[in-house]
Amino acid sequence: MVNKLDISTDHCMIPVRKSPKDYAVYRISPGDSNRLAIIFDTATADESLTVCVEIFDPYGKTPPNRHNFAVEMFFILKGEGLGICDGKTIPLKAGDSLLVRPTGIHEIRNLGSNRLYALCFMVPNENFSELIRSGIPEELDEEDLQVLSHFS
């Protein structure tokens, strides 16, 4: 049975809309070969989640990392790469998804001479957005904006 939508509430939840030009972009450390463009996080969604676009330089990668209780999911938007989790290697291409459960030591590697773009979700946040925002501010360039506007 489908419940009818109750529209008789006394308050309105205003949705938040953002476009790529609104995203805050950071490189966590100076030597990193990936940037993260925050779409929504604890600061903007008032929820314990982080949603970002991770942009890997040619042949770039994340440092191996793990989360104690957060689940992280990657959806590959463009490019080809590898997901490595606890020693298992998984090839990734546009349209593929990778779910990393808590405590799995993982990294993503870009295999190509072009950028790799991945939509990344982490729930709960586990201080991920705070780590990103503590990094070096950057901007999306024309190539990034072209790739991200392709989906609009």
Neighbouring residues of 33: CB distance < 8 A, sequence distance ≥ 6: 56, 57, 59, 60, 61, 110
Question: 65 near 54, Cβ under 8 Å?
Answer: no
- Thinking of the domain 25-143, which architecture would CATH place it in? Sandwich (2.60)
Q: What is the pLDDT of residues 49-82, one digit of tens each?
A: 999 999 999 999 999 999 999 999 999 999 999 9
Residue spans per domain, the chain? 25-143
Distance CA 47, CA 1 (A): 30
Please, which residues bridge with residue 121 across strands?
A: 51, 73
Residue reference for tokens 């991920």: 128
Q: Residue 124, preceding bond cis, omega within 30 degrees?
A: yes
pTM: 0.89
pLDDT score of 84: 96
